[in-house]
Structure 1
Amino acid sequence: MNARRVLAIDAGQSDIKVRMNDGQRREDLAFHGIHTGTPLLPQLAQVVKDTLARTGAELDVVTAGISGLTDRDADADALLSLIRDDGVRATMLAHDSTTSFLGALGDRHGAVVAAGTGVVTLAVGESDTARVDGWGWIMGDAGSGYWIGREALDAVMRAYDGRGPATVLTDAALSRWPDLTQAYMALQADHDRVRVVASLAREVAEAADAGDQVARDIARRAARELAHSARAAVGRVRTDEATFDVCAIGGVFSSRTLHAAFIDELDDGSGLRIVAPRGVGIDGALALADITAAHPLGSAVHRAGAI
């Protein structure tokens, strides 16, 4: 890393990771996840201010990879105006698919499937990039933690009604809502409903790995969705490469059942090769500071200020 003093933010729906690197020291912090129902940039500005207060650091540039970043919120100038008085001279914003890719594969060609609460796939070829999904819990995020949690709740209520087989996932639901008949009302009233539903993905992973057939079916269907997204993204950027690297990152892949099914889905003779990630999203958020406009991902970075 060069001499610039960087504060990098990896902003997800479940949590926000922060890394401060001023050239002399590096410090990592964590905050509660972004609230999608309230303005984004003031949340990021507060994270910057809280980090500075806790670390006493001085900064040149703030970079951020943001889950579900929209054109409306991708206003680097507006963020800079909120934190300029804190000594920040430049800001760089990108969708978390960009920073996930940089963290996992760096400057290599390939595809990264980043599956946590939500999911997005990004493929980078010789000159083109392709993003697949990442369209949020209402319209997309197939195979994500939320998707898995939603499928789990569906299975639980089917078992409750006698429309589906019994599953140990019922115990996970009961631990949150002792009266299952009232669970849907509680969720609808909960502003944190996306995170709550996504948190069930952990129990699905444990149940699937322990042999629960309902959970295993959910995990395998999630893997099928994630592999489908990977193939779609690669197909849009691949030229004449005999093999093309695919990297799977995020908490969803901590399920042994899901991860194995994902690998099986991609093992179709098309030359897609699973590779281990070099790092994680916060590493990519820090690397964002060195991305130039000439890089294939350069057009995906929103910039303001100068350093």
Structure 2
Amino acid sequence: MSPRSVLAIDAGQTAIKVRLDTPGHRDDLLFRGIDTHEPLLPQLADVVREAVERTHGSPTLLTAGISGLTERDSDAGALLSLLSGTGIRGARLAHDSTTSFLGALGSRSGAVVAAGTGVVTLAVGLHSVARVDGWGYIMGDAGSGYWIGRAALDASMRAYDGRGPATGLVDVVRERWPDLAQAYIALQSDDDRVRIVAAFAADVAALASDGDEVALRITAEAAHELATSVSTAIGRVRDRDETFAVCAVGGVFGSALLRDAFAEELSGPGIELVTPLGTAIDGAVALAELAPTHPLTADVRHAGTV
């Protein structure tokens, strides 16, 4: 545990996890996920202020791993100015791939694929870092919960039209939208549509376990996409014939069939699938003590002093 008083954030599209980590005490809170259609920094500032109020804590350093963090939103100084009066004097912001990596593997070399609503893979070698995908639900996130849910909706409507094979996914989608002919209107007009689509990934996992052929195909394709991202990331940072530790984290890997297919795709010399040391919120806390010489430090935005 860090000796500092740290307020750590793991900000995802489905949920925002917050941990107040102080010497001898820890509080964990859960908030609604990031609204990608609204400015990011004010959302984070609101979460921080509420977290400080609810825990009655006195953090001095804010650390955050943020899904889809862009250069535009990575202004740690601007966030710090929004937190005036909270007692927080320093801020460190990173893409959630960085904090997922630190939570899962610590400071060692390896690769971490974090697949929830979105997905990103990060590989860290001795001297370099490679990020693969994490390009959002429109341009990327192959194998993510959204990607799986989108494939499920596509397969459902193909079956409904008679363009594709029958699947139990039709009944699942009809449970939410009884009139399938109007489902697309309801979905497109819903501000929460990204999370709604991603939620169907759980139904794909359940139907795949029951032997639904369409759900099995989607599961296999998602596993292939995720394994491809990991192999690509490792290939970009591997300096020699070293064995790379690989961690697969996130809700998508709650599907045993997908997890097994992913492992099978990656089986072979030079890759070792390992159990994560911790979670992304642990990685957000670890930002407080990340060594200046670590390859990931260059991707962390700093402001203030602690």
TMscore range, shorter length = over 0.9
What amino acid maps onto 2:251 in structure 1?
A: G
SS at match of 2:159: helix
2:204 is aligned to: 204
SS at match of 1:279: coil
Tell me the distance in 2 between the aligned counterparts of 1:231 and 1:57: 42
What's the CA shift string for 1:228-272, capped at 9, x where partnerless? 0000000000111332111100000000110010011111x3421
1:304 is aligned to: 303
Tell me the distance in 1 between the aligned counterparts of 2:187 and 2:288: 39
Tell me the distance in 1 between the aligned counterparts of 2:37 and 2:127: 36
Do the aligned residues in 1 keep the contact of 2:104 with 2:279 (CA within 8 Å)?
Answer: yes
What amino acid maps onto 2:8 in structure 1?
A: A
Larger mean Cα displacement after TM superposition, 2-11 or 136-145: 2-11
2:173 is aligned to: 173
SS at match of 1:217: helix
Q: How does 1:280-295 map to 2 (within 5 A)?
A: 280-295=279-294
1:258 is aligned to: 258
- Structure 2 residue ranges without an equivalent (≥5): none
Tell me the distance in 2 between the aligned counterparts of 1:165 and 1:285: 44
2:22 is aligned to: 22
Aligned positions, number: 306
SS at match of 2:291: coil
SS at match of 1:63: strand
SS at match of 1:84: coil
Identity %: 62
What's the CA shift string for 1:192-222, capped at 9, x where partnerless? 1111000000111111112111101000000
1:56 is aligned to: 56
Tell me the distance in 2 between the aligned counterparts of 1:24 and 1:278: 21
Moved over 4 A (4+): none
Q: How does 1:236-275 map to 2 (within 5 A)?
A: 236-267=236-267, 269-275=268-274
1:162 is aligned to: 162
What amino acid maps onto 2:40 in structure 1?
A: L
Tell me the distance in 1 between the aligned counterparts of 2:106 and 2:30: 23
SS at match of 1:86: coil
1:43 aligns with 2:43: yes
What's the CA shift string for 1:122-158, capped at 9, x where partnerless? 0000010000000000000000000000000000001
1:121 is aligned to: 121
- Calculate the aligned-residue CA RMSD, in Å: 0.9
Tell me the distance in 1 between the aligned counterparts of 2:49 and 2:161: 50
Tell me the distance in 1 between the aligned counterparts of 2:20 and 2:175: 38
Do the aligned residues in 1 keep the contact of 2:5 with 2:58 (CA within 8 Å)?
Answer: yes
What's the CA shift string for 1:83-120, capped at 9, x where partnerless? 13111000000000000000000011000000000000
If the length of structure 1 is used for normalisation, what is the TM-score? Answer: 0.98
SS at match of 1:10: strand
Q: How does 1:111-150 map to 2 (within 5 A)?
A: 111-150=111-150
Task: Give the Å deviation of 1:273.
Answer: 1.4
If the length of structure 2 is used for normalisation, what is the TM-score? Answer: 0.98
Tell me the distance in 1 between the aligned counterparts of 2:2 and 2:245: 29
Do the aligned residues in 1 keep the contact of 2:2 with 2:21 (CA within 8 Å)?
Answer: no
1:276 is aligned to: 275
